[in-house]
Chains A and B, each alone.
Chain A
Amino acid sequence: MRNLWLFLVRYNAFFLFILFFMFSIVLVIRNNNFQRASFINSSNVVVGSYFEKINSWKAYLALADDNKALLEENAHLRKQLQNFRAIDTTVHVHLVDSIEQDRYTFTVATVVNNSIHQRSNYITLDKGSREGIHPNMGVITSNGVVGIVQQVSENFSTVRSLLHPDIRISVSLDSVSDAFGSLVWGSNTDSRFAMVRDIPNHVKIRIGQPIFTSGYSTLFPKGIKVGHVVEPEVTSGESFKDIRVLLTTDFAKLHHVYVVKDKLAEEKVSLEASHKENE
Chain B
Amino acid sequence: MNNNFISNLLRFLILILIQVGLFKNMGYYNLAIPLPYILFILLLPIGISNFSLFVIALITGLTVDAFYDSIGVHAAACVMLAWFRIFFHRITLDIDAQESSSTPSWGNMGFKWFGTYVVFSTLIHHTVLFLVEVFSFRNFAYTLFGAILSSIFTIILIFIISVITYRRKSRLAN
- Nearest neighbor of B16 in chain A, beta-carbon distance: A50
- Nearest neighbor of A25 in chain B, beta-carbon distance: B76
- Nearest neighbor of B28 in chain A, beta-carbon distance: A117
The count of residues in chain B whose C-beta lies closer than 8 Å to any C-beta of chain A is 41
From known contacts A41-B66, A50-B20, A118-B30, infer whether A17 and B54 are also in contact, taking CB-CB under 8 Å.
Answer: yes
Report yes or no: B79 in contact with A20, Cβ–Cβ below 8 A. yes
A172: interface (CB < 8 Å): no
Complex interface bits, A7-37 against B, C-beta within 8 A gives 1, otherwise 0: 0000011101101110111111111100010
A217: interface (CB < 8 Å): no
Complex interface bits, A49-74 against B, C-beta within 8 A gives 1, otherwise 0: 01100100000000000000000000
B37–chain A nearest beta-carbon distance, Å: 15
A182: interface (CB < 8 Å): no
Partner of B68, one of A30, A36, A115: A115
Q: Which residues of A contact B62 (CB under 8 A)?
A: 40
B95–chain A nearest beta-carbon distance, Å: 15
Report yes or no: A28 in contact with B132, Cβ–Cβ below 8 A. yes
Q: How far is the CA of A207 from the CA of B30 in the complex (A)?
A: 27
Q: How far is the CA of A188 from the CA of B133 in the complex (A)?
A: 13
Interface residues on A, range: 35 or more
In the complex, the number of residue pairs spanning A and B with C-beta atoms less than 8 Å apart equals 109
A253: interface (CB < 8 Å): no
Q: Which residues of B contact A38 (CB under 8 A)?
A: 71
From known contacts A158-B69, A188-B30, A189-B30, infer whether A16 and B54 are also in contact, taking CB-CB under 8 Å.
Answer: yes
From known contacts A24-B58, A28-B73, infer whether A40 and B83 are also in contact, taking CB-CB under 8 Å.
Answer: no
Q: Which residues of A contact B79 (CB under 8 A)?
A: 17, 20-21, 24
Report yes or no: B66 in contact with A20, Cβ–Cβ below 8 A. no
A122: interface (CB < 8 Å): yes
- Nearest neighbor of A38 in chain B, beta-carbon distance: B71
Q: How far is the CA of A209 from the CA of B26 in the complex (A)?
A: 33
- Nearest neighbor of A163 in chain B, beta-carbon distance: B30
Q: Which residues of B contact A30 (CB under 8 A)?
A: 72
Report yes or no: A31 in contact with B134, Cβ–Cβ below 8 A. no
A13–chain B nearest beta-carbon distance, Å: 5
B57: interface (CB < 8 Å): yes
Report yes or no: B68 in contact with A118, Cβ–Cβ below 8 A. yes
From known contacts A17-B54, A20-B57, A118-B70, infer whether A27 and B75 are also in contact, taking CB-CB under 8 Å.
Answer: yes
B86: interface (CB < 8 Å): yes
A175: interface (CB < 8 Å): no
B interface residues (Cβ-Cβ under 8 A, vs A): 17, 20-21, 24-31, 33, 50-51, 54-55, 57-58, 61-62, 65-73, 75-76, 79-80, 82-83, 86-87, 132-135
The 10 closest A-B pairs by CB, nearest first: A27-B72, A117-B27, A28-B72, A24-B76, A24-B75, A122-B69, A17-B83, A20-B79, A189-B29, A13-B86
Q: Can you list 16 A-B contacts with CB-CB less than 8 angstroms, sorted by A residue number?
A: A17-B83, A21-B76, A24-B61, A27-B71, A27-B72, A28-B76, A28-B135, A30-B72, A40-B66, A47-B67, A50-B21, A115-B24, A117-B27, A117-B30, A119-B134, A190-B29
